[in-house]
Structure 1
Amino acid sequence: MSSDTTDSTRFVRRIPEGEDRERLTCNDCGFIAYENPKIVVGSVVDVAGQVLLCRRAIEPRRGFWTIPAGYMELGETVEEGAVREAREEACADLALDGVLAIYSIARIGQVQILFRARLASPGFAAGPESLEVRLFDWADIPWDDLAFPSVHWVLRAWREAGPGPLGAPRGNPPVDRRGTTPLEAAL
């Protein structure tokens, strides 16, 4: 191969020896570039029975409401990631109560680990990834304007869990055990 070969031409999809599915594999040395799900961490923030939601300032789903959440960074724990995301999106300092839900979203290759949380210090504001941040009573949650199916799921899980001790984390709803239903069909 010539020295000007790019990585994109050196890697091909094939089933390597000892594997059971196609992998992105280097044609030169056989290195396998594993493509694994991304981990999303976030929190349902409870403030005196209201929930903190952020209106997204970025794509995907700009202008729609979500909980403070995002991709984990290397070198942080899931707890640290959830706290960081709330600070970035809602300028909020959180105290985590525990894991509320774990969702598998196979359609987009995500695992979501979502906490129940409360404010550790007063105050919140829109961060650079949010157009606005607000508290909502249950009856006022903008259900038709929520960004993702898992936001619907976790808000319902938060409501069902109530303020007491958390039991086992919730999982995908029975109608979408693998997280394959797009938003429009999930509503």
Structure 2
Amino acid sequence: MNFCSNCGSNTIGLIVPQGDNRERYVCGNCGIIHYQNPNIVAGCLPVWEDKVLLCRRAIEPRLGFWNVPSGYLENGESVEDGAKREVWEEAAAKVELDYLITLYNLPKINQIYLQFVGELVGGAFGVGEESSECALFTEKAIPWEEMAFTSSTFTLRRYFENRRLGKKILHRGAYPDL
């Protein structure tokens, strides 16, 4: 951080503010503390009959690889609304959320994933602007070697595990494993 977003000063320094326990960027001119916190990623695994909907990424990172529709939560947006929006943006599809399946931490890149399972409304989907292709897959047909992110693989494995058990369990995970 080079300049204070409050006053424009270039007197930003890393210090431990009084009453805090870690270094923060603090403006030497106006004293404002610039907190930097993890990004929340919301997503949903759309399900239709015995298949799941995956999207092939048309953008970086991991261009050309498959993923569970997910993306950064917007300010003022609930996690549920963010998950639905991401399915719409990536797969031109609507979902009815069923349950939260994964809470997945990526502490090295400051991300927290919250993934839902949702029913694909009417089985209808298309290809959103962030995808080059969207398709329904049975468990056996999942392109495991072409998955974009560990969060997607974790969610898919937990979904099929839950389905075999006939349960709706929330799973917690991290990369690397904590």
TM-score relative to the length of structure 1: 0.85
Counterpart in the other structure of 2:157? 156
CA–CA distance in structure 2, aligned partners of residues 20 and 146 of structure 1:
38
Counterpart in the other structure of 1:50? 51
Contact 1:153 1:173 in 2 (8 A): no
Aligned-partner SS, 2:173: coil
Counterpart in the other structure of 2:4? none
Aligned-partner SS, 1:150: helix
Percent identity, aligned pairs only?
42
CA–CA distance in structure 2, aligned partners of residues 150 and 174 of structure 1:
8
CA–CA distance in structure 2, aligned partners of residues 75 and 134 of structure 1:
31
Contact 1:41 1:113 in 2 (8 A): yes
Counterpart in the other structure of 1:67? 68
Q: 1:141 to 1:106 in 2, by over 3 A?
A: same
For each residue in 1:115-174, what CA deviation from the matched residue of structure 2 results, as whole angstroms up to 9, or x when unmatched? 01111233111111001101111111111111111111110010011174413x100169
CA–CA distance in structure 1, aligned partners of residues 15 and 122 of structure 2:
52
Counterpart in the other structure of 2:12? 11
Count residues with an aligned counterpart. 171
Q: What residue identity is the alignment partner of 2:64?
A: G
For each residue in 1:42-67, what CA deviation from the matched residue of structure 2 results, as whole angstroms up to 9, or x when unmatched? 01111111111001111111111001
Q: 1:175 to 1:71 in 2, by over 3 A?
A: closer
What's the offset of the Cα at 1:38?
A: 0.5
Counterpart in the other structure of 1:37? 38
Structure 1 position 131 matched with structure 2 position 135: no
For each residue in 1:75-96, what CA deviation from the matched residue of structure 2 results, as whole angstroms up to 9, or x when unmatched? 1111111001100110011001
Q: 1:83 to 1:23 in 2, by over 3 A?
A: same
What's the offset of the Cα at 1:7?
A: 3.9
Counterpart in the other structure of 2:28? 27
Contact 2:13 2:25 in 1 (8 A): yes
Counterpart in the other structure of 1:105? 106
Give unpaired runs (5+ residues) of structure 2: 1-6
CA–CA distance in structure 2, aligned partners of residues 173 and 87 of structure 1:
26
Contact 1:51 1:135 in 2 (8 A): yes
Q: What residue identity is the alignment partner of 1:112?
A: Y
CA–CA distance in structure 1, aligned partners of residues 69 and 110 of structure 2:
19
Contact 1:94 1:121 in 2 (8 A): no
Give unpaired runs (5+ residues) of structure 1: 1-5, 178-187
CA–CA distance in structure 2, aligned partners of residues 120 and 51 of structure 1:
13
Q: What residue identity is the alignment partner of 2:124?
A: G
CA–CA distance in structure 2, aligned partners of residues 8 and 59 of structure 1:
34
